[in-house]
Amino acid sequence: MRDVFRRQAEHFEALGSPVYARLAERLALDPSPVEPILGDDDAWDAPLRLFGAVHYLVLSEAAPDALSGRWEDFAAALVAHQDALRRRVATQGVQTNEVQRCTFVLPALLAAAAETRLPLELLELGPSAGLNLLADRYRYRYANGPWGPEDARLELVVEERGGRVPAGLLAEELVVRRRRGIDLAPVDSTTRDGYLLLRSFLWPGLDQRLERLEAAAATLRELPERPELIRGDFVRSLPALLDERPADALTVVFETFSAIFLPAETAAELERALDTAGADGRPLAWVSVVHGGDDPTHGDFELELRIWPGPARLAARVDPHGNWLDWRL
Ligand SMILES: C[S@@+](CC[C@H](N)C(=O)[O-])C[C@H]1O[C@@H](n2cnc3c(N)ncnc32)[C@H](O)[C@@H]1O
């Protein structure tokens, strides 16, 4: 357990959360307050679940001082809320919805719309709270110009390394006719509990992510028609949903950091479902983040775009959090 906290303390420090880093360092030296909570759970994400659970106590005002940064306050909250924390870390997995990833999803949607000249029906696999299903409701600043509603609550900026999103794509409009997502544990960000859950996994210090979450959640709240979030396993549910898709719109199935974790066999099942549907002639596109080559200057993740009956194409190399992209289409 000490090693898990030591490694996580380094990550917290490197990724901008000094408060969590100090507390995790102390837990690496003295794990006694956390042992009754985690038991023998020393999975890599155990510290993330623990800090998320403590942060939730702070946000819901059950333990408002637990993350003051003082070890005494933190350790006291672990003792006082031991049972509630034990239950929460055992049942609540890390749950985040990173809207900055829309910086690479959006141009892929624009490319799909430009190539097919059809309205879109979005179907996201693993949408969490569905905030990325609103990609067309945010404003973007790309090197070649802006895109999106001028009065959007959220403006996203991305560094473009190498390839830039072409001005021609940024001149395209998107018509989104339907927004749906399938998630094992969808989050309703319009409820207090759902919103606090998403906030609880944002580490103190990551202020920009918090601002983005607030603006995206407000966008969703104000939307006349909210995305439909279906609870279920997307590999199992997908074939039936694709079977009933329309012929007069492009169904875009997309995912960011949801399918990449699937075991090879399940990933192959998902691919077969898409291929079978793509072969029936009704419009279908697939946008997905995959592991890329090993070019160290460009990171390890690639965005793939497939529009049936064509092959999968490399759309961009991307940063996992959407902070930079290298457009390739
Ligand atoms: C790391 S989060 C990514 C959320 C969102 N796509 C984003 O980029 O911010 C992964 C999401 O996928 C969901 N998920 C993972 N496997 C799933 C499956 N087989 N079926 C449905 N949802 C799944 C999880 O519940 C979680 O909400």
| Nearest-5° Cα angle at 277, 110 to 292 | 55
Residue with the nearest Cα to atom 7 of ligand 1? 97
Taking a C-beta distance cutoff of 8 angstroms, is the pair 139, 156 a contact?
yes
Instruction: Let me know whether 28 and 107 are in one domain.
Output: no
Residues 57, 52: Cα–Cα separation, whole Å? 9
Distance 298 CA to ligand 1 centre (A): 25
Distance 181 CA to ligand 1 centre (A): 10
Strand partners, 176: 120
Joined tokens for residue 160? 């473009």
Model pTM score: 0.94
Q: pLDDT tens across 137-195, in order?
A: 999 999 999 999 999 999 999 999 999 999 999 999 999 999 999 999 999 999 999 99
CA torsion through residues 41, 199, 96, 10, sign: negative
Instruction: Let me know whether 138 and 280 are in one domain.
Output: yes
Name the residue of 94, 101, 184, 261 to mutate for ligand 1: max ligand atoms within 8 A of Cβ: 184
Distance 190 CA to ligand 1 centre (A): 19
Residues 45, 35: Cα–Cα separation, whole Å? 15
Q: Can you tell me which atom of ligand 1 is nearest the CA of 93? A: 25
Instruction: Let me know whether 104 and 68 are in one domain.
Output: no
Contacts of 34-39 with C-beta under 8 Å, sequence gap 24+, read 34/1, 34/5, 34/78, 35/1, 36/82, 36/86, 37/78, 37/82, 37/85, 37/86, 37/89, 38/1, 38/89, 39/86
If DSSP codes are grouped into helix, strand and coil, which group holds residue 318?
strand
Instruction: Let me know whether 21 and 154 are in one domain.
Output: no
Q: pLDDT tens across 87-126, in order?
A: 999 999 999 999 999 999 999 999 999 999 999 999 999 9
What is each CA distance from 286 to 213, 225, 242, 248, in whole angstroms? 25, 24, 12, 17
Look at the chain and count its residues: 329
Domain boundary among 69, 91, 113: 91
Domain boundary among 67, 91, 115: 91
Residue 39 belongs to domain spanning: 2-91
Instruction: Let me know whether 74 and 46 are in one domain.
Output: yes
Q: Can you tell me which atom of ligand 1 is nearest the CA of 187? A: 27
Q: Can you tell me which atom of ligand 1 is nearest the CA of 97? A: 9
**Token pair 């920009």: residue:** 208
Give the residue-averaged pLDDT of 270-292: 97
What is each CA distance from 235 to 117, 126, 182, 265, in whole angstroms? 28, 10, 9, 11
Q: How many domains does the chain have?
A: 2
One-letter amino acid at 24 equals: A
Please state whether 144 falls in left (phi above 0), alpha (psi between -120 and 50) or beta: alpha
Q: pLDDT tens across 1-58, in order?
A: 899 999 999 999 998 999 999 999 999 999 999 999 999 999 999 999 999 999 999 9
Residues with CB under 6 Å of ligand 1 are 95-98, 101, 126-128, 132, 182-185, 233-235, 256-258
Distance 250 CA to ligand 1 centre (A): 23
